Amino acid sequence: SQELEQSPQSLIVQEGKNLTINCTSSKTLYGLYWYKQKYGEGLIFLMMLQKGGEEKSHEKITAKLDEKKQQSSLHITASQPSHAGIYLCGADVGDSNYQLIWGAGTKLIIKP
């Protein structure tokens, strides 16, 4: 079955430090979504990438889709307590009905 691997599973970062979360697929990514979630709550859309080499930024969060379109990274600069949560990647791997497959999530804790 198709899988999307996220790494790391969890991350503890000192406030102010940078961090990167990765999402890797064995198949070509036709669309890659990054969401943030608080435990037990809804999905907060961060950004979506479709083109190889594409990079998008919003505030201190930057996401990139590599040229081969099989991996995406999410980078947070100068982390803040508000960045804490679970980061999920969801991917369109070319299924005819365009449903997404999901990574298991990365739990981010920010230490003051």
Partner 1 sequence: EPEVTQTPSHQVTQMGQEVILRCVPISNHLYFYWYRQILGQKVEFLVSFYNNEISEKSEIFDDQFSVERPDGSNFTLKIRSTKLEDSAMYFCASRVSYNEQFFGPGTRLTVL
Binding residues for partner 1, rule: CB under 8 A, are 30-31, 33, 35, 39-43, 45, 48, 88, 90, 92, 95-105
The amino acid occupying position 98 is: Y
Report how far residue 107's alpha carbon sits from residue 2's, in angstroms, rounded to the nearest whole number: 22
Nearer to partner 1, 33 or 70 (CB): 33
Name the residue among 97, 96, 46 with its Cα closest to residue 72: 46
**CB-based contact 21:77 (threshold 8 Å):** no
Q: How far is the CB of 83 from partner 1 (least distance, A)?
A: 20
Record the tokens describing residue 30, joined without a space. Answer: 């036709």
Cβ at position 18, least distance to partner 1 in Å:
27
Cβ closer to partner 1: 49 or 79? 49
- Which is closer to partner 1, CB of 22 or CB of 31? 31
